[in-house]
Amino acid sequence: MAKKNIRATYYSKEPLGNDNIQLVGWSGNHWDNISYFPKNYQIGYVAKGNGIFFANHEEFPITAGELFFIHPGRVHNGKPDEAVGWCVDTIAIKANFAEQLFSPPAKISFSTFVTGDKTAASLFLKTFSLLENFEQSFENESKLYLLLQDLLKAKATVEPEQNNRRNITDAVNRAIRFIESNYKQSFSLDELAAQCFLSKFHLLRLFKNQTGLTPYTYQIQLRLNEARRLIFQNNSLTEVAYELGFADQAHFTNTFKKYANGANPSDLLKTAISFNFQE
């Protein structure tokens, strides 16, 4: 059967503006028969088509909806089906960056090469979507690092480095005090972590484990609690927005609805006016 030519495409993108994370993708039915020796962790997703991956002298058939996991140093290659080709999206994470995501920093070893695990696939798609249109912010950084941790752990053995761990409760309490003192202001995850003498990755995981929230969500909850108080004092939504550090009323309204189960601050304002009128 003659080989059907499928137009090849390739892309590479650094969503964080550095080489800590790269999005790499290719499609078509081309095969260069070259072995690759990566220096980073790679998690790839076959969006369309099928083919075979080669690693450690073994063959792994892979098809649409399945993932492959590669840790640094694993020699590998992939051959798409000549008739239908494939479309592959990959998140490549620099080794020391990936290891610093955990608390304490850890060595990561993938326990599988190819998998059709739907939970892992869902994590990949959420992470990839966030990275594809990434905009730097406290909220997006928090979401990204937690998603990356979960994605790496989905099919990996994580072995923490042995070191002297700081008192967890004390570190998180320092973060809480800083947020409570500055919740109306904008600050970065790096600035918050510096208050605790921890890496931002370490702080994010410790904070989530102890409070059940990310630092960003904790800040937003404080803002929304104060917003309710200000609204019940008959302040306008524009006044509340600027008082609490939102860019404008629309930003405040959208954030309120997102974190208050769809409730609209204008409805709360009507309730406040009605209550005060009756009094």
CATH of segment(s) 9-160: 2.60.120.280
Record: fold of 217-278: Arc Repressor Mutant, subunit A (1.10.10)
How far is 200 from 117, CA to CA, in rounded Å?
29
Determine if the pTM surpasses 0.75: no
Q: For the chain, give every domain's residue range.
A: 9-160, 168-212, 217-278
Q: Comparing 159-163, 204-208, 218-222, 252-256, which segment has the lowest mean pLDDT?
A: 159-163
pLDDT tens-digit readout, 117-134:
999 999 999 999 999 999
How far is 23 from 25, CA to CA, in rounded Å?
7
pLDDT tens-digit readout, 138-192:
999 999 999 999 999 998 888 875 544 446 678 888 899 899 999 999 899 999 9
121: left (phi over 0), alpha (psi -120 to 50) or beta: alpha
Question: Who has greater pLDDT, 55 or 94?
Answer: 94
